Amino acid sequence: MKRKSKRRVFVGMSGGVDSSVAAVLLQKEGYDVTGVFMKVWQPDFLDCTWREERRDALRVAAHLGITLLTWDFEREYKEGVADYMIREYKAGRTPNPDVMCNKEVKFGAFFRRAMKEGADVVATGHYAQVARGDRGQTRNERGRTRKEAEGYRMLKGVDDAKDQSYFLWTLGQEQLSRTLFPVGEFKKSQVRALAKKFGLPTAEKKDSQGLCFMGQLDVKDFLAHFIEEKEGSVVNEKGENIGTHRGAYFYTLGERHGFTVTQKTTDDAPYYVVAKDLERNTVTVAHRLLKESLSCARKSVEFSHANFCGGVAPHVGASYTACVRYHGERYKCRIDAIAEKGFSLTFAKPVVVAPGQSVVLYDGDECMGGGVAE
C-alpha cells in the first residue's frame, strides 16, 4: 500500500520567536515544513536589519533540520506598502501600512508563490485563528483542501494582549482555506515556554515593534524623507494661533503628539488634533476629557474597499462591535447598508475615525472583515 505523503507547509519565518514556534509546532504535527524568509524594501536612511533577522531564521531552521528559502519581495513591499502609505498621507488620509503588508506581501506575494511552488498550506506566527464556517466545529482545524474549507472564518487570537486579527481583515476564503496560525491558540507566555522547551535559538529574543518589516520608527521622520516639511500654525477652535507643527500632512485626527503648543493655559489637559487644512497648512487642536467627545468624532461612517473574511456580508440592521485602531476599544455599532465594495455603519456613540483608517468588524470573537473609512 502506497504511503500517503506529508502535507507541505511553507512557513513565513521572520527570525522572531512567534514564527519559530509556529514552524516547530507544525513539524511536531507531522507536516513537511519549509521556512521562507521574506526580504523586503527598506529605505537607505534606516538601519539595515534584514541580514540579522535572516541569520536568526537560519539558526532556527538549522535547529529544526528544515530548509530556509529567501524570497525577494522588495518591489511588492515598496509599491504596495511604502508608496501606498506615502500617497495616502499626501492626500491627507491616515493609512494602515501593517494591514497592507499582510494584504500585499504575506498573504499576497508570499501566499501566491508558495502555492505555485507546491505548498498545500502556508503558515505565519500571527496571533489569530481559523475555524470552519460551521460554528460547532473546533477552532484552528489545520490543512483543509480548498473544497473542504468553504465557509472558513477568522477568529481573534486567544491572547487578547497579542491578538492580531485587526491587521488581517483583508483576508478572504482563498487565503483562510489554506492558512495556518499555529500560535493563535496560545498566550504569549505559553509561546515563550514552548520556545524554551524545544530549545529554539530565538526563545529569549525580544518582540519586534513598530511598522511591519521596518521596526520601530517615527512615522513623521519617515514621511519627511518623501514629503517636504513645511512649518505651519497650530490653532485652537477659535482660530487663534497657539503653536507650530511640521506640516499638516503628517497629522491624523485624534492625535495628541508631534506638535508644539507655545500659548499655554491654566488647563494642562492634552490637546488633540480635531481638523487639518492642507491648503492653509494649519492643524486645529482642542481640549477634551474624552477623545470621543472631540468635535471631529462622528457616529455615522461610510467605508470603501470592504472585505468580509467569511465570504458573507454582515446583516443590515444587526449590531456588532468595531475596532478603529490596533488594540483599541471595541465600539458598539449597527450596520446601515452594504454595497458591492463598501458599507456604512452607525456607532452607538461618536468615535474619532480619520479618513483612510482601517475599521474592523467583530461578532464576538469572530473577525467579520472591515473597510477603509471615508
What phi and psi, each to the nearest 5 degrees, are found at residue 345? -145, 165
Three-state DSSP at 225 gives: coil
- Spatial separation of the C-alpha atoms in residues 329 and 332, rounded to whole Å: 10
Tell me the catalytic residues.
Answer: 101, 212
In the DSSP assignment, the letter for residue 295 is T
In the DSSP assignment, the letter for residue 142 is -
Three-state DSSP at 13 gives: coil
Estimate to the nearest angstrom the gap between the alpha carbon of 65 and the chain centroid. Answer: 31
- Cα angle vertex 129, ends 123, 132, to 5°? 100
Could you tell me the three cell numbers for 253? 485626527
DSSP string, 138-195: PTT-----TTTTTT-EEEE-S-TTT--GGGGTT--HHHHTTEE-GGGGS-HHHHHHHH
Could you tell me the three cell numbers for 306? 470592504
- Spatial separation of the C-alpha atoms in residues 140 and 131, rounded to whole Å: 5
